[in-house]
Amino acid sequence: MCGISGLILKDTKQNAVLDIHESLGLLQHRGQDSAGITTCGARGRFYQCKANGMVNEVFTQDRIEGLHGSMGIGHVRYPTAGTSSISEAQPFYVNSPYGIAFAHNGNLTNSVELENFLDLVAHRHINTNSDSELLLNMFAYNLEKNQKHRINEEDVFRAIKELYTQCVGGYACIAMIAGPVGAKGMTNGSGDEGLKGDYMFASESAVMEALGFDHFEPVLPGEAIIVTKTKVTRRKLIETPEWRPCIFEYVYFARPDSIIDDIPVSDARLEMGTKLAHTVRRLLGDKHDIDVVIPVPDTSRIIALQLSQVLNLPYREGFNKNRYVGRTFIMPGQENRRKSVRRKLNAMHYEFNNKNVLIVDDSIVRGTTSSEIIQMARDAGAKKVYFASAAPAIRFQNVYGIDMPSRKELVAYNRTEDEISTILGADKVIYQTLDDLVDCCKKFNPSIKCFEASVFDGNYVTGGVSKKYLNTLESQRSDSTLHSQTVSPVASGISNIFEDS
């Protein structure tokens, strides 16, 4: 789940880069592997800066000042498909046709077929292992078939509609097209739209609010929006069978101050706390021996606070967090995650010593973080450690852009809750039920009948996800495989990319 943003300013004399840079900082929680910005200036010239690292590491003052133009797109990367190589930092760019910069969030499930098509039929060169580059080249191929010197909105909509039928998976994209004689447009398949003369697109609504956009709304599945210098056009290009947002957004990925698909993330997490409290009471009884509720910062704080109020238990901050260490879940490599837990969190002994504690986290994935946290609580003197997850047990691979590629790396795979408790070192592990989690989100938008919850139930909504594909994905993207990949150092400088068709 990467973070993407795009901005087009009404005043063409202004530079968009400052707001795009700020938007990436606001989306940093969605990806810490690399960051990039491409802007578009006079005569359709593209200016680009991208590198491995955090937003504040990649974009120095000099680099920001070199990114000109009143429109641009940005990306923070969290690697799933591909590697952590600098060559896979986004936005991507192709110079034919017209010049296209492209930022993508998600994952494709038919990447092998697409790569073969691009090689054997389209004759377009693919330079990385990233499925984002496949999407970009398929889009470029669809546009190129027109063989037109000038393209219009209908050409772009037609190319996007074809893309939906060609590329299978879960994805959202922003493209910036530099056409002949300076005609430019931007298309978006994800995020929200701000309406005040300037237009912005981003993975989460919190970005728009922070940058002063007072009107925004979700872009629906199968919908595309084209923004030119003179107008905005939005169109539903395909009829999707169901609107099924990713439920893991509300559990973990999204900022609490965001509204995603008309669901306030903070309110959904409050409901998770209420539902989880009822599950704790059902499993441990009204006469449980819990002394205190302690959250794992930061995502689970809202959930733990609500749970403590429902159970009428004290809520305490038992872990001090070093805010200069990134989110451990999206760090590549099991050993990196393990080491980072101790560097990121420190248990406060007086909150644990001689107490039975209920630790609340948003989810349990590989179990690396959870087992370290439980051991820290015991080292701090806890008598008993119960561990509650606001999400159900994660037992299946994710194929739509979340780094859960290998079943064998999931602590809940083929295990009972008692077995998981033993592995993690907890006195008991308590999971939210899937029905309760769905209810927590549906409460705020009843029009959503189902959610994408394949990591919990193994139901892949796009279809065509075979056992062979899952096994291939597992072999390519397991921690052991990714650990062996070469990671390029941080690159520097700004590249000028221009199209003079």
The answer to whether the Cα torsion of 91, 491, 60, 67 is positive or negative is negative
| Residue 418 CB partners (closer than 8 Å, separation 6+) | none
In sequence order, what DSSP letters do the residues of 386-406 get, joined into one string?
EEEESS----S---SSSS---
Which is it for strands 292-295 and 319-321: parallel, antiparallel or unpaired? unpaired
What is the pLDDT, as a whole number, of residue 122? 95
CA 380 to chain centre: 34
**Binding site feature residues for Mg(2+):** 299, 361-362
Backbone angles phi, psi at 294, to 5 degrees: -130, 125
**Within a 10 A sphere around the Cβ of 57, how many other Cβ atoms?**
13
Active-site positions read 2
Backbone angles phi, psi at 235, to 5 degrees: -150, 135
Helix (H) or strand (E) holding 141: helix 131-144
Distances (CA, A) of 480 to 332, 337, 416: 10, 13, 25
CA distance 223 to 34: 28
pLDDT in tens, the chain (501 residues): 799 999 999 888 999 999 999 999 999 999 999 999 999 998 889 999 999 999 999 999 999 999 999 999 999 998 665 556 788 899 999 998 889 999 999 889 999 999 999 999 999 999 998 999 999 999 999 999 877 778 889 999 999 999 999 999 888 999 999 854 322 333 333 334 444 478 999 999 999 889 988 788 888 888 899 988 788 899 999 876 578 899 999 999 899 999 999 999 999 999 999 999 999 999 999 999 999 999 999 899 999 999 999 999 999 999 998 876 655 555 555 555 556 677 789 999 999 999 999 999 999 999 999 999 999 999 999 999 999 999 999 999 888 888 776 888 899 999 999 999 999 999 999 999 999 999 999 999 999 989 999 999 999 988 878 888 888 878 776 555 444 444 333 444 455 443 332
What is the pLDDT, as a whole number, of residue 84? 61
Record the pTM.
0.85
What is the pLDDT, as a whole number, of residue 43? 82
What is the pLDDT, as a whole number, of residue 191? 39
Buried residues in 81-116 as b, exposed as e (16+ CB within 10 A): bbbbbbebbbbbbbeebbbbbbbbbbbbbbbeebbe
Q: Which amino acid is at 360?
A: V
What is the pLDDT, as a whole number, of residue 213? 87
CATH numbers and ranges of domains, the chain: 3-242 (3.60.20.10), 248-453 (3.40.50.2020)
Residue 162: CA count within 13 A, CB half-sphere? 18
CA angle centred on 90, ends 31 and 166, rounded to 5°: 100
**Burial of 61 from C-beta contacts in 10 A (0-12 / 13-18 / 19+):** exposed
Contact 393, 433 (CB under 8 A): no
Residue 264: CA count within 13 A, CB half-sphere? 7
Residue that has been written with the tokens 């937003």 in this structure: 55
**Binding site feature residues:** 299, 361-362
What is the pLDDT, as a whole number, of residue 490? 41
What is the pLDDT, as a whole number, of residue 189? 33
